[in-house]
Amino acid sequence: MAQQRKKLFIKTYGCQMNVYDSERMRDVLAPLGYEPADEPDGADLVILNTCHIREKAAEKVYSELGRLRPHKDAKAGTKDPMTIAVAGCVAQAEGEEIMRRAPVVDLVVGPQTYHKLPELIAQTHRARGERLETEFEPVAKFDALAGDRAVEGYSAFLTVQEGCDKFCTFCVVPYTRGAEWSRPVDQITAEARMLASKGVREITLLGQNVNAFHGAPPSGREADGPWGLAKLLRHLSLIGGLDRIRYTTSHPNDMDDELIAAHGDLECLMPYLHLPVQSGSDKILHAMNRKHTIESYARVIEKVRAARPDIAISGDFIVGFPGETDKDFEDTMQAVREINYASAFSFKYSRRPGTPGASLPLQVDDTIASERLAHLQALLTEQQTAFNRSQIGMRLPVLFEKKGRLAGQLHGRSPYLQSLHCEAPAELIGQIAEVTITDASQNSLTGRLDAKVDAA
């Protein structure tokens, strides 16, 4: 008998790992007859895959739950009531509080238990009771999620590592995602091969601390002991069809020489490195428990640039961390001037309950933090625009991913992860073609297709 079709709406907040997890949730729920829907109205199951990294991100979840209420009420008492689940890091950190604050929620599921979603949903349906699933069991999670994946497009995420043992004093990740854990190389390779067989040309290896990767070696190579990220990259580079590999996010202390060398000689490793520094002041870096100095960070960047001179460097910054003075902030501005970023993400410090930073004295006044953020962002925007404009006139290989906003245009990505729009035939979607850059702005490039490549 054909299975009854049900509608599944997932709203994803936060990082790329959440995007990856949402796709996996879709995959485990597909055999139960759940099909993706574009809106919550009328959905049988709504999942909010949440982010806890900053306070604003967590509060958004409660606002969304308020908006979902009428949708759920509209289906209440019918034969298909709406089930609402909260997944992700807010679920991990505030499971019980969610149930208390938002009775509209049926189910709370932490990041390591998505493979149990079908079972939990079945239980909820049976009992309409409350279930809390927020324990850490990454091994079980990936074993259960290891099968086939629905793939959309030509660029895909692949989680290789989860969690973090660094305990930066501002960060919730070690509490919400748990201790660092790496997937075995064979399992990652199988997933990468499967992606390539479905036409994927570019993979981005994900991990909260991806360059701390230390996965079990492939079978037959047990004597090697755990493999680091550099070995994994070289191994994956041999998979036919995968033309581009990226990885994110990294910690400066885990940029070992082998990984830096890979940036010099591994052709498919794209010339882009996201390496958060957070602050340019050693005093603040120490208070953040970053375990590096601005000098040691700059040395890593120098080595990476020596291996791959054109590499685009990207970073994360936090302003207004407790105790940050005008002088500390100026040190951050000076570090940015010296390093010169191609792109960056910058945030005002958000006090996260339970992290050591939350109880530090000298929390910075919000107005001052906002002013500092505006200054820093102006400088980073200037650098990003200059980087993009420096490519006008160059020829770059572009992976076309989808149609652009204007008719006749396609959207793609340069090796440096820049967005690019260009007039090109739709057959080039999924292909890499040479484009001459004709214009550039803060957020994207415009180009001219050099030669119409035969898409066959």
Q: What is the binding site for ligand 5AD (CB under 6 A)?
A: 53-54, 170-171, 276, 278, 316, 318, 347, 349-350, 352
Give the three-state DSSP class for 420: strand
What is the token pair recorded at 298?
């700059």
x/- track of binding to ligand SF4 for residues 127-166 (CB under 6 A): -------------------------------------x-x
Decide whether 174 or 271 has the Cβ nearer to ligand 5AD: 174
Q: How near is the Cβ of 252 to ligand SF4 at its closest, in Å? A: 9
Q: How near is the Cβ of 344 to ligand SF4 at its closest, in Å? A: 15
Taking CA atoms, 372 is separated from 174, 189, 204, 220, 383, in Å, by: 27, 44, 32, 54, 17
| CB proximity list for 48: less than 8 A, separation 6 or greater | 10, 11, 13, 61, 64, 65, 84, 85, 86, 87, 88
Q: How near is the Cβ of 254 to ligand 5AD at its closest, in Å? A: 14
Decide whether 168 or 304 has the Cβ nearer to ligand SF4: 168
Site membership for ligand SF4, residue 251 (CB under 6 A): yes
Q: Which does 349 bind (CB under 5 to 8 A by kind): ligand 5AD, ligand SF4, none?
A: ligand 5AD
Site membership for ligand SF4, residue 279 (CB under 6 A): no
Number of residues that bind ligand SF4 (CB under 6 A): 10
Nearest of 399, 388, 403 to residue 446 by alpha carbon = 388
What is the separation of C-alpha 352 from the centre of its chain, rounded to a whole number of angstroms?
Answer: 20
Question: Is the bond preceding residue 293 a cis peptide, omega within 30 degrees?
Answer: no
Q: How near is the Cβ of 198 to ligand SF4 at its closest, in Å? A: 30
Site membership for ligand SF4, residue 93 (CB under 6 A): no
Q: How near is the Cβ of 171 to ligand 5AD at its closest, in Å? A: 5
Pairing of strands 6-12, 45-50: parallel
Torsion of CA 324, 327, 333, 339, to 10 degrees: -100
- Rounded to whole angstroms, the Cα distance separating 111 from 109 reads 7
Q: How near is the Cβ of 95 to ligand SF4 at its closest, in Å? A: 20
Decide whether 61 or 171 has the Cβ nearer to ligand 5AD: 171
Decide whether 40 or 207 has the Cβ nearer to ligand SF4: 207
What is the token pair recorded at 348?
């005002």
| CB proximity list for 374: less than 8 A, separation 6 or greater | none
Pairing of strands 131-133, 107-109: parallel
Q: Which does 215 bind (CB under 5 to 8 A by kind): ligand 5AD, ligand SF4, none?
A: none
Candidate segments 135-143, 167-175, 261-269, 434-442, binder of ligand SF4 by CB under 6 A? 167-175
When binding is defined by CB under 6 A, the residue of 209, 332, 391, 431 that contacts ligand SF4 is 209
Q: Which does 159 bind (CB under 5 to 8 A by kind): ligand SF4, ligand 5AD, none?
A: none
Q: How near is the Cβ of 279 to ligand SF4 at its closest, in Å? A: 12
Decide whether 112 or 388 has the Cβ nearer to ligand SF4: 112
**Amino acid identity at 73:** D
DSSP 322-352: TT--HHHHHHHHHHHHHH--SEEEEEE----
- Rounded to whole angstroms, the Cα distance separating 360 from 108 reads 31
User: Phi/psi at 410 (nearest 5 deg)?
Assistant: -120, 155
User: Which residues here bind ligand SF4, judged by CB under 6 A?
Assistant: 164, 166-168, 171, 173-174, 208-209, 251
